[in-house]
Amino acid sequence: MSDDRQKPSALIQPILDSVADGVFTIDLNWKITSFNRAAERITGTPRRRAIGQKCFDVFRANICQSTCAMKRTLETGREAIDVPVDVLNRRGDVLPISISTAVLRSARGRIIGGVETFRDLSCFEDIRRQLTQKFVTSDIISKNPAVLKLLGILPAIAESASTVLIEGPSGSGKELVARALHTLGPRSARPLVAVNCSALPDTLLESELFGYMKGAFTDARRNKPGRVARAEGGTLFLDEIGDIAPALQAKLLRFLQEKEYEPLGSVQPVKANVRIIAATNQDLSRSVQQGKFRGDLYYRLKVINLTLPALSARREDIPLLVEHFLKRFNVLLNKRIRSVSPDVMSVFMTHEFPGNIRELENAMERAAILCTGHIIDVQHLPDDMLPPVVVSTLSRANPQNPLHAAQARAIQEVLAQHNGSRRRTAEALEISAVTLWRKMKAFGL
C-alpha cells in the first residue's frame, strides 16, 4: 500500500512560503541557504538570486557592518527579537523592517548557521507620515499644495492608456512621476523602459527606439529589438523629448498615431502595445512657435500634461527630503547620522537649488560621506552652496595643522549637538568655557 504522506523535510519550503513574514537561513560562511516567498516580495530579490549570496549583499541594512544582529546571535547564542532596521530593496528604496534572529543547530546540537525573520513596517511608516501630513507616492515626497494636487490625480491618470507629457526643470523628479504612473497602473507587471533622448545622436536614437534587422547596415549582423519592443505591454518613458531632431519627430508622430513602427532595414510594420510617457525641461510650446518642435507631435504628447515646480518653489518640502536622504545614505554608507544642524537647514532653506532635488540629494550624499559624527554641519556642504562669508570662515577653521583641523571639526560637531551652547559644549569636551572660547577664536569659529 503506497504512502502519500510527505516527509517532514519536503514540507519545510511550503510551510516557509505560507508565512507572511520574510524568512531566510544562512550557513557559517554567511551564505543564504533558504529564502521564502515573503522574503522575495519584501526585498524584491528572487529566491534564485538570493541563494548562495552573502546575506549582507542582499539586504544592505544599516546595521550590517557595525551591529549586525545575526552576528551577535551566532557569537553569543542569544536570540534577537524585533530589532528595528532600515534596508535597501532592489529598487534602492529605504524599507523599514523589524528583524528577529536565532541560531540553527544540527541534530547533535552543533551550531550550523542562523535563521532570521523580518517584517515589513512600511504600512506603519505610511500611517506615521499621514499623521505628520507627509504625502509619499513612489518615492515622491511632498506637502506642497501643487505637488499634492498632482499626486492626488496620479492614480486616475495611471489607470488610463493616454500619453502623458511631464514638464519641469532638470532634477525636479520627472522620472519619479513617470515611474509612479507605471507602478500605479495596470501595466505595472510589464517593463518600464526609459530612453534619454538627449544622450544619443538621432541616427543611433532611431535604431535604439525601433531596433534594426540583420543587414540594415554594415555592422548589423543580427536582428536587434529596440526599446519599443522591450517595453511591449508596458511603458516607454521618453526623457528630454524636446531634444530630438525634426526627422525623428515625424517618425515618432507616426508611431503615436498608428501604434506601429518599422525597424531599420525592415519593410514590414510592427504593431506595438506600449504606453508613452514623455518628459522635458524645455518650454515645448515656445519651441513649437520657434519652429523647432512639431506642433502636431506636441499636441499628441500632451493629451495629459503634468507640470512639476522647481524646488525653490516648494521649500516646505526641503526638511522632508533632507530626512528622506539622511535615512537613505545612513543605510548606503553604514552611518548613524541623526540630523543636520540648524545652520545647514538654514543654508538649504535659502539656497536657490538650480539643480533642484538632484542637487539637494548630491549635497546630502557628500555631507554624509564627510560627516564622522552624528550631526551634519556646514563644513560638510559643497562650497558653492555656502555664502562667501561662511566659506571664508570654514577655510580659517580648517588650518593645515592636522591636529588643529581635527580639534576644529570636533568643536563644530559638539557645538551643533548642543545647539550652539558654549557652556554645554565645554562640559561635553571637558574643558573650561574660557579654553573653548580661545580655541573657537583661534579657529575662526
- pLDDT tens track for 398-421: 444 555 666 777 787 777 777 677
Residue in the structure block whose three cell numbers are 559643497: 382
300, 256 Cβ separation under 8 angstroms: yes
In the chain, ranges of CATH 3.30.450.20 domains: 8-121
Amino acid symbol at 357:
I
Query: Using 50, 70 and 90 to split pLDDT, how confident is the model at 133?
Result: very low
Q: Which of 142-156, 332-346, 403-417 has the highest mean pLDDT?
A: 142-156
Compute the distance between CA of residue 284 and CA of residue 195 in angstroms, rounded to an integer: 18
Per-residue model confidence (pLDDT) at position 134: 46
Quick one: CATH architecture of 133-309?
A: 3-Layer(aba) Sandwich (3.40)
Average of per-residue pLDDT across 206-213: 84
Partnered with residue 224 across adjacent β-strands are 212
Over residues 134-145, the mean pLDDT reads 70
Query: For 313-443, CATH number?
Result: 1.10.8.60
7 or 48: which carries more pLDDT confidence?
Answer: 48
Report residue 445's pLDDT band, with 50, 70 and 90 as the boundaries.
Answer: low
Residue ranges in 282-387 assigned as alpha helix (H): 284-289, 295-301, 318-333, 342-350, 356-370
DSSP state of 25: E
C-beta separation of 375 from 339 below 8 A: yes
Q: What is the pLDDT of residue 132?
A: 43
Dihedral sign for Cα atoms in the order 75, 77, 80, 86: positive
Task: Say if residue 305's pLDDT is above 60.
Answer: yes
**Maximum alpha-carbon separation in the chain:** 93
Provide CATH 3.40.50.300 ranges for the chain.
Answer: 133-309
What is the model's pLDDT at position 220? 64
Distance CA 146, CA 214 (A): 49
Q: Left (φ > 0), alpha (ψ -120 to 50) or beta: where does 82 sit? A: left
Cell 507602478, located at residue: 183
Residue with cell 511591449: 232
With cut-offs at 50, 70 and 90, classify the pLDDT of residue 234: very high
pLDDT band at 109 (very low <50, low <70, confident <90, very high): confident
Average pLDDT over residues 414-443: 76
**What nine digits make up the cell of 186?**
495596470
- Terminal C-alpha separation, the chain: 88
Q: Nearest CA to 295 among 253, 243, 261? A: 253
Which range has highest mean pLDDT (88-102, 115-129, 250-264, 398-412)?
A: 250-264
Question: Could you give the percent of the chain with pLDDT greater than 90?
Answer: 35
| 27: CB partners within 8 A, 6+ apart | 33, 112, 113
Is residue 62 over pLDDT 70? no
Calculate the average pLDDT of the chain. Answer: 82
- Spatial CA neighbour of 255 closest among 201, 199, 286, 211: 211
- For the segment 279-292, the average pLDDT, to the nearest whole number, is 94
Task: Looking at mean pLDDT, say which of 32-46, 140-154, 159-173, 193-207 comes out highest.
Answer: 159-173
Residue 300 has pLDDT above 50, yes or no: yes
| % residues pLDDT > 70 (the chain) | 83
| Among 319, 385, 360, 381, residue whose Cα is nearest residue 171 | 360
Q: What distance in Å separates the CA atoms of residue 70 and residue 60, rounded to the nearest whole number?
A: 13
Least-confidence region, from 16-25, 77-86, 179-188, 390-399: 390-399
| CA atoms in the 13 A half-sphere facing the CB of 36 | 21
- Class at the top of the CATH hierarchy for domain 8-121: alpha beta
Q: How many CB atoms lie within 10 A of CB 112?
A: 15
Domain with CATH 1.10.8.60 in the chain: 313-443
> Are 32 and 44 within 8 A, CB to CB?
no
Count CB neighbours of 300 within 10 A: 18
Burial pattern 235-253, b for ≥16 Cβ within 10 A else e, equals bbbbbbbbbbeeebbebbb
| CA–CA dist 203, 197 (Å, integer) | 11
Residue 332 CA, chain-centre distance (Å), reads 11
Split at pLDDT 50, 70, 90, the class of 290 is very high
